[in-house]
Amino acid sequence: MGVTVQIGDQTTVTNEVSFWEITDLAKGEYTVTASKEGYEFVPQTFIFEDDDVIINHETSVDSINDAAKLRSTSGYILDGDNKPIADVTVQMGDKTVVTDETGFWKIDGVTDGIHTVTASKDGHWFAPKKLAVIDADVIVEMGSNGPYTVGGAIVDELGKPIAGVEVKIGDEKIVTTDFGYWEISGLREGDDYVAIASKEGYTFAQTNFALGNEDFRQEVPIKPISDIKVSIVASSRTIRQDDNITYTMTVTNGGTKTATGIVLTDELPEGTSLVSIGVLDGGECDVETVTCTLPDLTTGNFARVELVVNNTQTNTLLNIATVTSNEYPTDVVKKRTQVIPYLSVDITDTPDPIAMAKVDVERILHYTITVELSANALTAATGVELVTRLPKGVELQSVNTDYGMCDTSNLPTLICSLTDLSVDNADDISQVTVNVDVLLKDAGLLLLTHEAKVTANEYPAHTTKERTKVSIGDDVKVDMVLVVDTTHSMTEEINGVIHALNNFIAKEIDPSKAPLIVLVEFKDDVRFIAATRDLNVLLKAVKSLKAEGGGTCPEASVEALTLAVEHLKDGGVILFTTDASPYADADLGKLDTLLKGKDMKFSAILTGDCSNQDSWNVLP
């Protein structure tokens, strides 16, 4: 009942038994249409003739065919606390409704097919929902989404994109494109997000991340973990110029499948030449391509390759090994080895670590500086000069050597003229030692950096650094560390930290719940500035920072970060800002291990690197 039937300009409505009737029609062709909310009817055409056709009460245009019933979509829109949101405009195609006080909405008259539901209200953000309507009503789950978007590109160890990876964050899923890219929007602020990626034949470590501080677009790194691994062990931590070094590379199958088609490729360090390469557990190697084909490995088994190279240059060696197989993703490993040149300088310190400076206690730090001419050297070294730069915050107590004279008139720089060095005869002097004692004066120092450079007429300069930690106790843990580069080029970045702190303070955090925050600055050394729960005191300390001194490159960034991570509580936060690269000999491996093993949030503001050689820090 209640169906409106129309023929021409005449209309009627079906009764309780669905009957309808229209009379007084002239002869001709007519179209009958019918309509009712929630139903769809097919128009019918008929021809009404003259007296040859008798129409009575039982005669009618037959039932307008079967009505095709439409579907409905409905749901509730709730906020992050599961409270209803009223007055949200919900739209599907050309149909629009508004949620009631319970957050409920319903749209009728929906045909079977794929539809998109959108919702809008000032102050809220809702992710559009796609749904399929097939022979049934549909309930749609929608909520007030956040303004945060995360994404990234998933690539293998060689930098090639991995397509078809499913990335899941909560109930949201997306699949990477042909370029390995993925993106998920509509996330709210929070510190307990987990990104989980999956694809057949690959294993991915889950990534924990946090959203907040109005950083509305964030990159979330997701990397594949290969179950077939390669490792490199060098025969020595250091190598002298013109010596050989042996690398033992081990390929291990840690997966559940037998690894087949295994190929190990080595990229020799720059400035080295291949002496030999061979397999230790089966397979064969090609000396031209430095590539080895290894036997199939069942779960838990391994195969080794031994590589010997000769080095003739002075830079740190970087050896790169890559392993591929039919069943697992590529794995790449890098091994760095320090080179000791023909003419070298080395610094050792005692004690390390040293206790913090105190007014009533002398903290003496002893340095032994050794200048040496290698037995591989081709000629004597004449005009040998040693230049050292003492750490800031110390006071020179003494300097002495048996084979030269040292000038202390330009502290903190010491300049020592040393005797000639030779290895031609057994009685020749090939090594000179300079002993230096300093008194630790600055109670804020956390890391001291002592740098030395040696030059001679016949050999290029060689520079080294020795870093001495100041002991502050492994049990000292804090909630947040601000790690700030304060070299002369950092004025704008320091102002940015001040601005961020002002915004943080404006949130009126309960003093009893305020985090314990430490401010650390670094140039060549690392220095403690303040530790407080009072954000206004912290702001005053940041404002007191002066961007001065030093070049812009490189700086003790890795050393400062390492100290910060070591003394950060689980769940803590590090804010790091610099415009310089780390020192080439910085222990990046240790820092990487610390970062991966700590449950923390790390925010970095990087505004430069060391590509401009005019800004490098160099000794005279």
| CATH number assigned to the domain comprising residue 535 | 3.40.50.410
Domain boundary among 454, 471, 488: 471
Q: If we measure between CA atoms, which residue out of 102, 99, 39 comes closest to residue 68?
A: 39
What pLDDT band is residue 608 in, cutting at 50, 70 and 90? Answer: low
pLDDT of residue 263: 96
Residues 484 and 540 in one domain: yes
DSSP string, 418-481: E--B--SSTTS--EEEEEEEEEE--TTEEEEEEEEEEE-SSS--EEEEEEEEEE--TT--EEEE
Domain boundary among 288, 320, 339: 339
E-only strand ranges, 111-189 = 113-120, 129-133, 138-139, 142-143, 148-153, 166-169, 172-175, 181-187
Residues 349 and 463 in one domain: yes
Peptide bond into 269 cis (omega under 30): no
pLDDT of residue 143: 67
Please indicate, yes or no, if residue 355 is contained in any of the structural domains.
yes
Strands 364-373 and 394-401 come out as: unpaired
Q: Locate 315 and state its tokens.
A: 């830079």
- Kindly tell me if the per-residue pLDDT of 366 is higher than 50: yes
CATH code at position 327: 2.60.40.10
Q: Locate 615 and state its tokens.
A: 């800004």
pLDDT of residue 68: 46
Please indicate, yes or no, if residue 57 is contained in any of the structural domains.
no
pLDDT of residue 399: 95
pLDDT of residue 56: 32
Q: What proportion of the chain, given as a percentage, has pLDDT over 90?
A: 32
Please indicate, yes or no, if residue 208 is contained in any of the structural domains.
yes
CATH code at position 440: 2.60.40.1510
- What is the number of other CB atoms lying within 10 angstroms of the CB of residue 477? 13
Residues 437 and 495 in one domain: no
* CA pair distance 408, 396, nearest whole angstrom: 9
Residues 444 and 515 in one domain: no
Residues 241 and 119 in one domain: no
Residues 406 and 316 in one domain: no
Residue type for position 347: I
CATH code at position 122: 2.60.40.1120
Please indicate, yes or no, if residue 43 is contained in any of the structural domains.
no
Q: Which of 247-261, 384-398, 489-503, 554-568 has the lowest mean pLDDT?
A: 489-503
Task: Name the β-bridge partners of 514.
Answer: none
pLDDT digits (tens, 9 = 90+) for 381-434: 999 999 999 988 889 999 999 999 999 999 999 999 999 999 999 899 999 999
Please indicate, yes or no, if residue 37 is contained in any of the structural domains.
no
pLDDT of residue 507: 62
Arithmetic mean of pLDDT over the chain:
82
pLDDT winner (highest mean) among 7-16, 21-30, 183-192, 288-297: 288-297
Q: Please state the domain count of the chain.
A: 5
Of 390 and 583, the one with more pLDDT: 390
Residues 493 and 601 in one domain: yes
- What is the number of other CB atoms lying within 10 angstroms of the CB of residue 233? 11
pLDDT of residue 55: 31
Residues 500 and 603 in one domain: yes
pLDDT of residue 616: 47
Give ∠ CA 440-441-447 in degrees, rounded to 5.
Answer: 55
pLDDT digits (tens, 9 = 90+) for 45-99: 766 665 433 333 333 334 333 344 678 888 888 876 678 889 999 998 889 999 9
- Kindly tell me if the per-residue pLDDT of 379 is higher than 50: yes
Residues 572 and 484 in one domain: yes
Q: What is the mean pLDDT of residues 220-236?
A: 86
* CA pair distance 19, 609, nearest whole angstrom: 84
Determine the structural domain holding residue 285 and report its residue range.
234-339
pLDDT digits (tens, 9 = 90+) for 173-210: 899 998 889 998 878 777 788 899 988 878 887 788 88
* CA pair distance 117, 480, nearest whole angstrom: 43
Residues 152 and 278 in one domain: no
Q: Which of 54-68, 280-294, 489-503 has the lowest mean pLDDT?
A: 54-68
Domain boundary among 126, 143, 160: 143
Please indicate, yes or no, if residue 240 is contained in any of the structural domains.
yes
Long-range contact pairs involving 207-212 (C-beta distance under 8 Å, separation at least 24):
208/599, 209/150, 209/601, 210/601, 211/146, 211/148, 211/150, 211/187
Q: What is the mean pLDDT of residues 157-185?
A: 87
Residues 330 and 352 in one domain: no
pLDDT digits (tens, 9 = 90+) for 296-349: 999 888 999 999 999 998 888 999 999 999 988 889 999 989 899 999 999 999
Please indicate, yes or no, if residue 180 is contained in any of the structural domains.
yes
Residues 496 and 611 in one domain: yes
E-only strand ranges, 142-236 = 142-143, 148-153, 166-169, 172-175, 181-187, 190-198, 203-204, 207-211, 217-219, 224-225, 228-234
pLDDT of residue 58: 34
Please indicate, yes or no, if residue 452 is contained in any of the structural domains.
yes
Task: Name the β-bridge partners of 139.
Answer: 74
pLDDT of residue 131: 76
Task: Name the β-bridge partners of 440.
Answer: 394
